[in-house]
Copies of this chain bind each other. A is one copy, B any other.
Amino acid sequence: MIVCKFGGTSVANAEQIKKVFNIVKSNPERKVVAVSAPGKRSSEDIKVTDLLIDLAETALLNGDVEAKIATVVKRYDDIAAGLGLDHMMAEIIATDLEERVAGDKSNRDRFIDNVKASGEDNNAKLIAAYFNSQGIPARYVSPKGTLILNDPPERTFALPEAYDNLSQLKKTEEVIIFPGFFGYTKNGVLRTFDRGGSDITGSILASAVGADLYENFTDVDCVFSANPKVINNPAEIKEITYREMRELSYAGFAVFHDEALMPVYKQGIPVNIKNTNNPSAPGTRIVPVRTEQARPVTGISADSGFSTLYVSKYLMNREIGFGRKLLQIIEEENISYEHTPSGLDDISVIMRSIQLTPEKEERIVRRVKEELHADAAYFRHGFSMIVIVGEGMRNNTGLAARATTAISSTGANIEMINQGSSEVSVVFGVYSQFEEQILKALYNEFFSPVNV
């Protein structure tokens, strides 16, 4: 059995949904399908989810909602028309939206979630209707009573009973069309996933039914070994392990949200990222273990927006608990950090700058000086992290030498090197102005035909 997920652009209009239909139809193993809300039809378009958020916020301000409801309904009606379905669906959707908008507004987040989730929910109903109209028996299944989530304010995740409930779907004869992005608490309250919503739904479904494969359909042919905006025609990644994918996701490999991988990762179910617009392309397979290792390096990614807290104190490394106390202060500011390179008498904490404010920085510096009696403590900003990832790296003598030599060739100074815990990555910290040059130099070192 294969579980498929189709993202927003894959279900943006009738033409796209026909592609989805043909993909599902072409392989009888494709029995469970998670769908997003209709996405952008062109780069200037507004996706349905954003229309719904705007609608919900207007309703909360007691604004005029009718025109906005009509805009959303029109999107579905156009799709239905393009698929040869009648106006019935649009009427059902209009009634559903009116009800949601008229619903309880006492909890703002809950109200917005409820309106927003209609995007996926109604799209799933519409797509199920289309499948049936084309002679492929299909059934819309609601997350209500099946995809059971934890209660707020904890980050949203599926409870064990969700997997039990959804495991029933493995017996299906019909194609199941399941809306992505949301579920319900035990008390029947609708909740959405924090990020990568429909990807997670597909991943949960794949895990619950014990799928042989989780196909994640999007609008790119594959995951590239480096950012195509920086590197011309970067190598395609045919196969990548979960942990390689995870390390790359650190710095802007946005194809697949890493949190969404968790349910399939736990079951060791392979994932295939494919293109709805080019389904014959093999795509990128994410697997537990990889056999093909033509290159030591699988991918290189980079991201800017990092800051460093530098702390020094003479004889620091004699002081049991120093590092722990420092991290406690960081934690009390609700900051997550990335790395903590250290010397004997100094330690740096690397974190995403977006988590900082001048007040937080000042408070942290003051506490570190007062409570830890540090000799020095200060922040530095404007760093990029560059990550080289590959299962073949660990035992590749000389890889660090090749990477550092390539970086030095750009004239950039290496501010930070972190190697030694992950078996599949090395992280370099540099000032952001060198990021692009370094990415190019590293790509050339590890991917150009003469160097491989």
Any chain B CB within 8 A of the CB of A334?
Answer: yes
| Nearest B residue (CB) for A242 | B314
* Distance (whole angstroms) from the CB of A305 to the closest CB of chain B: 15
Per-residue contact bits, chain A 390-409, to B (CB 8 Å; 1 contact, 0 not): 00000101101100110110
| Nearest B residue (CB) for A336 | B320
Bound complex: CA A395 to CA B408 (Å):
12
Bound complex: CA A318 to CA B249 (Å):
12
Bound complex: CA A425 to CA B343 (Å):
7
- In the complex, the answer to whether B247 meets A343 with C-beta atoms within 8 Å is yes
Which residues on the B side are within 8 Å of A321 (C-beta)? 327, 331
Decide yes or no: A348 and B420 within 8 Å by CB, A340-B340, A401-B407 being known contacts. yes
- In the complex, the answer to whether B408 meets A415 with C-beta atoms within 8 Å is no
Q: Which of A137-145, A258-266, A267-275 makes up part of the contact surface? A: A258-266
Decide yes or no: A336 and B318 within 8 Å by CB, A343-B247, A397-B412 being known contacts. yes
Bound complex: CA A401 to CA B400 (Å):
8
Which residues on the B side are within 8 Å of A243 (C-beta)? 345
* Distance (whole angstroms) from the CB of A29 to the closest CB of chain B: 27
- In the complex, the answer to whether B259 meets A315 with C-beta atoms within 8 Å is yes
Per-residue contact bits, chain A 318-340, to B (CB 8 Å; 1 contact, 0 not): 11110110011011001111111
* Distance (whole angstroms) from the CB of A144 to the closest CB of chain B: 27
Bound complex: CA A348 to CA B420 (Å):
7
A362-397 interface (Cβ within 8 A of B) = 395, 397
Any chain B CB within 8 A of the CB of A110?
Answer: no
Which residues on the B side are within 8 Å of A411 (C-beta)? 397
Decide yes or no: A315 and B419 within 8 Å by CB, A250-B344, A342-B340, A425-B343 being known contacts. no
Any chain B CB within 8 A of the CB of A97?
Answer: no
* Distance (whole angstroms) from the CB of A403 to the closest CB of chain B: 8
Which residues on the B side are within 8 Å of A117 (C-beta)? none
- In the complex, the answer to whether A420 meets B417 with C-beta atoms within 8 Å is yes
Bound complex: CA A58 to CA B335 (Å):
58
| Nearest B residue (CB) for A329 | B324
Any chain B CB within 8 A of the CB of A84?
Answer: no
8 Å CB contact of A331 from B259, B324, B344, B407:
B324
- In the complex, the answer to whether A420 meets B341 with C-beta atoms within 8 Å is yes
8 Å CB contact of A327 from B324, B400, B415:
B324
- In the complex, the answer to whether B344 meets A246 with C-beta atoms within 8 Å is yes
Any chain B CB within 8 A of the CB of A414?
Answer: yes
